[in-house]
Chains A and B, each alone.
Chain A
Amino acid sequence: MSGPGSRANVVVRLWNAGAAVRVALVGLGLIVLVGIFGPALAPYDPLAQDTAIALQGPTLAHWLGTDYVGRDVLSRLLAGAPVSLLAALLAMTIGLVLGAIPGVLSVFAPRIVEWTSLRLVDALLALPFILFAIAFAGLLGNGLWQAMAAIGILLAPGFFRVSRAAALSVTSAQYVEAATLLGASAAWQVRRHVWRSVAPTITVAAIGAIGGALLVVSSLTFLGIGVQPPAPTWGGMLASDLEFLSQRPLGPVAPALAIILTVGALNLLADAARDALGVDAATVRTRAVRARKETAHATSA
């Protein structure tokens, strides 16, 4: 039977979690495929201009119409997918590595180290994402990777807090204390007990973080930071579509929907993962113990 303690495949557990989750998983699967094969799937060259057919609505030839220089919108959307998605993924990974590992280790650190890192995290959390990314990009050059590094750094505190909280709830567990009394070192505790409880929490946070990072990437490319036109990005497309809103009112819909649906699918998946993986091990245990007490108390005695 599937349960938080079982070894059942994570994806299988998520699949079984409900209809909404399946939709999200399928949608996300599609988006990932697009992200990998997007440019290959594009019917036209995303950079090919043809001002004669500029600003057209959806036609049989161009399913999503054309933009202000006659480029096929669908092709640009497909070509832009990998950039945005990979950038978001990269930012999340940087955040995870910079945040989750120190987060878990902070539980074992001496008081002063703990205190200092918590204050650092508080400071970082106070910074506004986009402004910081802009500043960072300005400092290190206007490239997408610089911008991603900036976003990653700002995502780290979130991961730190989340993994620290998860680790704390485990380390206060009696079986961890039991291991301490057997002479376990901090490394042993993490490897043996803490990681298993922390991993689901971090997974859920990571899924949510990709969504957040995607929004920030789109905002940055919207502002023209990171990737220069004419390279296609969803945010960039949104920006140029808004410029020509009067001529092609439905223009922004395509890139906007792409962003919304992707982020939406990620958030849905994050919620489902939280439930399916029983993220908070301590809550799960408390729930299990309470359920046991209830059954023992009720159906027995």
Chain B
Amino acid sequence: MPRLRDRVAASPSLTTSGAKGVPSFDEASLVAPAVAAVRGLRVSTLDGTELVHGVDLAVRPGEALGVVGESGSGKTLTCRALLGILPAGTRITGGAVLIEGQDLAHADERAWRDVRGRRLGAVFQDPASYINPAVRVGAQLEEVLRVTAGVPRRQTRERARELLDSLGLRDVDLVLRRRVGELSGGMLQRVLIAMALAADPAVLIADEATTALDVTVQAELLDLLRDLRRERGLALILVSHDLAVVSQVCERVLVFRDGAIVEGGATARVLRAPGHPYTRELLAAHAEYGLERYLRS
């Protein structure tokens, strides 16, 4: 008897399109309630231009969801809505932002502070700009542990060490003593992942987290993300412009374009038999320029 999970993975997906008013059907919600989701999300600028047109996205516990699209497609805005950090000049004009079932779309900053770091963690591109360059990295990680995870002051150093160790960093003590300028992109990103996971959230959002890194370092970080899923049951929302990155890690993928989702479903199915012309375009571009053409025997 095939597991429900497998049958779901193998099933064709229904495309969701808020713009056309087709109600969304997320087969994933059959299996377990989503740990983080948006329903019919609409985001607009203050002067009324709609940037995100009714997006549905959900990630179940332990699941890895890939989000693919170019700049301007709405993928980053959706993630920011999930974290309650929409940029100045934009606001949510419709839909719900559900974190463990609770709608925070119009919640105040205090409610979000409880959620950020504790239920949701996030890492972004360009790790160096997210850490204070004047303070040692260890001190900043300890601060996050203290403030977000409530670790007592005396134990923060030890916990910081354990955390970085569990993320596969060698020479942990050395890294903790360093500052931003003395660490490579890969190491910095690991530190940021540590900060994001300090309070053991259920979901990690990685928005183009590996884009600026060397491909060997990217591979190591993707391995790390896979490990984290396995060891902690961490759910993952992996955002990338690179379909291949998403295909390595995620069971389901959503394709964004111009503020809406044009295709979604099991990764294997979407890559094998894409339904929407845009997805086909992306795959064709990849096939034309990717390394695969040299590697197929």
Contact = CB atoms under 8 A, between A and B. Distances in A.
Interface of A: 294-301
Contact of A300 (B45, B72, B89, B239): B72
Contacts of A297: 76, 125
Interface in B64-88: 69-77, 80, 86-87
A299 B73 contact: no
A300 B72 CA distance: 3
B26 to A, nearest CB: 23
Contacts of A294: 87
Most buried by B among A294, A295, A297, A301: A301
Contacts of B77: 298-301
15 contacts: A298-B76, A298-B80, A298-B86, A298-B87, A299-B51, A299-B87, A300-B71, A300-B76, A300-B77, A301-B70, A301-B71, A301-B75, A301-B76, A301-B208, A301-B239
Nearest to B239: A301
Nearest to B80: A298
Contacts of B74: 300
Nearest to B86: A298
A187 B125 CA distance: 41
Nearest to A290: B129
A110 B13 CA distance: 68
Nearest to A295: B87
Contacts of B208: 301
Contact of B73 (A295, A298, A300): A300
Contacts of B73: 300-301
Nearest to A301: B76
A296 B80 contact: no
Contact of A301 (B69, B89, B90): B69
A294 B45 CA distance: 15
Q: Interface of chain B, helix or strand or loop or mixed?
A: loop
Contacts of A295: 87
Nearest to B78: A301
Contacts of A298: 76-77, 80, 86-87, 90
B16 to A, nearest CB: 19
B71 A296 contact: yes
Contacts of B72: 299-301
Contacts of A301: 69-73, 75-77, 207-208, 239, 241
Contacts of B76: 297-298, 300-301
A212 to B, nearest CB: 35
A125 B134 CA distance: 33
A301 B126 CA distance: 15
The 9 closest A-B pairs by CB, nearest first: A298-B87, A301-B76, A300-B72, A300-B71, A301-B71, A296-B71, A301-B75, A299-B51, A297-B76
A295 B241 CA distance: 17
Given A298-B76, A299-B77, A301-B69, 9 more contacts: A294-B87, A298-B86, A298-B87, A299-B87, A299-B89, A300-B72, A300-B74, A301-B207, A301-B208
A297 B74 CA distance: 10
Contacts of A296: 71
Contacts of B69: 301
Contacts of B70: 301
A299 B208 CA distance: 15
Nearest to B45: A299
A248 B72 CA distance: 72
Nearest to A297: B76
A258 B74 CA distance: 59
B155 to A, nearest CB: 35
A300 B80 CA distance: 11
Contacts of B45: 299
A301 B51 CA distance: 11
B242 to A, nearest CB: 13
B75 A299 contact: no
A200 to B, nearest CB: 28
B257 to A, nearest CB: 12
Contacts of B51: 299
A296 B76 CA distance: 10
Interface string B79-105: 010000011011000000000000000
Nearest to B208: A301
A287 to B, nearest CB: 15
Contacts of B207: 301
B196 to A, nearest CB: 17
A295 B90 CA distance: 11
A300 B69 CA distance: 10
Contacts of B87: 294-295, 298-299
Interface in B170-224: 207-208
Interface string B235-248: 00001010000000
Nearest to B67: A301
Contacts of B86: 298
